[in-house]
Amino acid sequence: MEYRQLGSTGLRVSAFGMGCGNFGGIGSAPEFFGQGEDEDEAFLLLDRAVELGINFFDTADAYGGGRSETTLGKWLATRDAAVRENLLISSKVGNPTGEGPNGFGLSRRHILRQIDSSLGRLGVDHLDMYLVHEVDPSTPLEETIEVLDGLVAAGKVRYIGISNHPAWQVTKALWISDVSGLRRFDWVQDSFNLIDQAEREELLAVCRDQGLGFTPFSPLSGGWLTGKYRFDEDYPDGSRMTLRPEPYLRYWNKRTFGAIDRLRAMAADLGVSTAGLALGWLQRHPDITAPIVGPRRAEHFEPVEEALILNLSAEAWGEIGSFFTEEEN
């Protein structure tokens, strides 16, 4: 496993992170609470991640209504202390976790309540990495950054990050920190993969200019880059498109499927899976620190293993990226 610096910090993270969003639910959506992987399935996946050398696990207070953090905490409690010592636990705050007008967001009240709840579920005294999960238009960024600065000073958090915010808000947040002498965000987390790469150009430019890390989620675009979907066929049973198709419907066109066909053909030439090539391309992107994968079964780690040993030339890397950005003739 390769390890990389997280932005301008001294923290070293594995070239892939382990996403825990499907433990006891599917992300933050209440309608899926109780679904996803149960404890036994999650434990097997976490053990496999450690075997591969993955050293940072990504969760959130809202995933599965708290079930994800609870599952991760139970797993940590049953493993040797050396395992915990080498791991980086990353969680998030901001998505709804309760009823009422203050049960979500990035206010001082909500963050201070949620950090202690997260630490309790995880069974730890601090978080190595802590992200604001979503934009909260009702709370000034100054208030959010001040409370995060206080959490670092109190020893409850080591590094702070920002997720699902547009480039201009990330820039504004960094400016607030600089002029106020407060902790800066150390890295950014957002969706990024071959299909949606053009949509993140401005955000990546900010990270590059300001020395921020970038840990993209959805590296396979909800399974699209595995090649499992076909333009003229129904969705495979149990796939993401059968559960939550709305974010991906805009990709259901001949242009996207044509690009996937080209990716599939190149993967066959290189002797890897379509998913392995998509992850290999992403891992070698100069602006990417570590993609976050969310395997549902042990065999889903196989494309990660392929990506880690895949040797792409600069020419091949550029060609693959162009599959999804070239305009139709």
Question: Do 64 and 114 share a domain, yes or no?
Answer: yes
Question: Do 148 and 26 share a domain, yes or no?
Answer: yes
Considering the domain boundaries, does residue 7 fall inside one? yes
Question: Do 72 and 185 share a domain, yes or no?
Answer: yes
SS3 7: coil
Considering the domain boundaries, does residue 209 fall inside one? no
CA distance 222 to 268: 21
Question: Do 34 and 171 share a domain, yes or no?
Answer: yes
Q: Which residue has the tokens 């430019």?
A: 205
Structure tokens at 127: 């978080």
pTM passes above 0.85 = yes
Q: What is the CATH number of the domain that holds 80?
A: 3.20.20.100
pLDDT values of the chain reduced to their tens digit, one per residue, 329 residues: 999 999 999 999 999 999 999 999 887 877 778 888 999 999 999 999 999 999 999 999 999 999 999 999 999 999 998 888 999 999 999 999 988 899 999 999 999 999 999 999 999 999 999 999 999 999 999 999 999 999 999 999 999 999 999 999 999 999 999 999 999 999 999 999 999 988 899 999 999 999 999 999 999 998 999 988 888 888 888 777 777 788 888 888 999 999 999 999 999 999 999 999 999 999 999 999 999 999 999 999 999 999 999 999 999 999 999 999 876 43
Structure tokens at 27: 């992300």
Q: What is the pLDDT of residue 95?
A: 95
Q: What is the pLDDT of residue 82?
A: 87
Q: Which residue has the tokens 């949606």?
A: 196
Domain span at residue 269?
218-329
240 contacts 222 by C-beta, under 8 angstroms? yes
What Å distances lie between residue 326 and 113, 247, 255, 280, 284, CA to CA? 47, 22, 10, 20, 20
Considering the domain boundaries, does residue 75 fall inside one? yes
CA distance 231 to 252: 7
Considering the domain boundaries, does residue 211 fall inside one? no
Question: Do 277 and 181 share a domain, yes or no?
Answer: no
Q: Judge whether 63 counts as a catalytic residue.
A: yes
Question: Do 181 and 290 share a domain, yes or no?
Answer: no
CA distance 212 to 58: 18
Considering the domain boundaries, does residue 118 fall inside one? yes
Considering the domain boundaries, does residue 194 fall inside one? no
Q: What is the pLDDT of residue 327?
A: 63
Of 63, 130, 159, 251, which residue is the catalytic one?
63
Question: Do 150 and 294 share a domain, yes or no?
Answer: no
Considering the domain boundaries, does residue 40 fall inside one? yes
| Count of the separate structural domains present in the chain | 2
Paired with 37 in beta bridges are 23
Structure tokens at 185: 């965000």
